[in-house]
Structure 1
Amino acid sequence: MAEKRKFTHAQLIRPDEGIRVHLLHNGLYRSVGAHGHDFVELLYVRSGKAVHRVNDKTFRAGAGDAFVIQAGDTHAFEPITPYFEWIDCMFLPAFVDYDVRSLLSSRKYFSGDGMETDYLMQAMLREYEEKKPAYLTKLRGYMLALLAELGRQIEQRADLYYGSRKKTRLLQEAVEYVHLHHRDKITLDDAAAKLGISRSTLSRLFRSHANDSFAGFVNAYRLERSGRLLRAGDLSVRDAALECGFADGKHFRTLFRRRFGMTPGEFRRAAEDPAEVPGEPGRL
């Protein structure tokens, strides 16, 4: 990732403080282009989702995720939801007695049990904004606790927990993507890009956790929707197919008959007698 801009602590951090904490959102910055800086930056996502790129790695960032950007790193992110909000903490390593270099920028961190990371970031933001007496002392204390909390996640056990949590959340968001875009042409590549992961990762996710291919899941959901529309009787077979993303009527009829054991027309006529209509496909 080519670096476009370079920021210095003299530009953004007051020398008498050594730290700056503020709340940002994509109403202020639609996206943040590739840049670097000579200080450490801690980003904590409060709401929304974005694709975050750090050096040569790409991450999907969501609420509860945290990133440590070391001096000399290059990073950028692009929001993928209408609203994306994060707490940005910029500081000099000398501000706190902790080996910040031990926190890797090649991974992301998360709010653990009890939401301790979330609590500490919110407390730091409040202290910095209010600047009450001894606010820098309190900020050092919060920062030390926060860095220690993130440091614990370097251990293998935290990695395993996060890996499981990440897969569950990714699958939920992939399913939401299908539900929102089932009328459109959905490809594995497009869905993976939107989620900030590789097509192979998304494919394995569906096969291991949904017991289906991505295309198979998309078609199953479309067939479920079309069955509901036909049962309601408000649309023709052709319109129901188009409404659910099936542009090829022959392909739709083939898949429908394979799933329900009857043609769409037969299904619609049988809907007058609910006892004759097969059950709908299950959901995740």
Structure 2
Amino acid sequence: MSSSQTTRRALPERLPDWGVAVLESHHAPDFHMEWRRHRFLKVVYVLSGAGQLWLDDRDIAYQAGDLLVVPAGTRNRLEDTPGEPASVYVLCLSRRHLACDPHAESRLSAGRWPRSVSLAKRAERRLRRLLYQQARGGVDAPIGMVAEALGLVAMLLTPEPRDGSPEADARAEVRRYVRELDGRFFEATTLDAAAAQLGLSRRRFTQLFREEAGETWLDAVRRRAIEHATWLLGESELSITAVAFECGFQDLSTFYRRFKSVHGCAPAAWRRRQRGSR
């Protein structure tokens, strides 16, 4: 990374009127951050590098993949390890967005969050979406950014139970993935991508998924897609093409083939039959 892309000083942390901001900061080798105290919650994701997060007189080591929580009103600064300048995403979130849960702030423990490859990857994806929304702007940016930020907070507040062993951690991550698949099946791309998302090998992910879900990954994704398509065809006025793409199918021929294998007829014929019986 060139010196023009790095910063020697911490970037300003200011909230817009809608109460969410995200920063991308790539530290120079001689980066220095003065002590700060703010009236909003801060979540830092470490992309690379290493160092210490100082919270008042307490220092907490960080490395790539770590999530750091800085509660509102806490004196804080980052100090990189010499020779390992950090790159970070910083989410700033107004406390008013947490008012719907009176216990949220007290449950967001200050410091480094328990390490999890899956949590880190999911957090990074949300922060990237936040950066995109912030850069794009527009009338929909505020509500979209608030939703993404609260989604990240919800991820932190709903950890999987762990016993500390790699086997238990892997199984917990797959169990969470299976639980969330009902609302995210349309985002699924390939088996390899799903395994990589959880930091598992294809073989290990396949084994754990079958044990937790009772079916293969592909069968689970296809079943949910056809179930949702069936509901949309019966309850909405969406075109066949729109239904196919909303359910995650990238081409109509695959959608027609999968739908017919389940219902014995094409989507349009199924829709006509359903509406004719009402």
With the shorter chain as reference, the TM-score category is 0.3 to 0.5
TM-score norm. by structure 1 comes to 0.47
TM-score norm. by structure 2 comes to 0.48
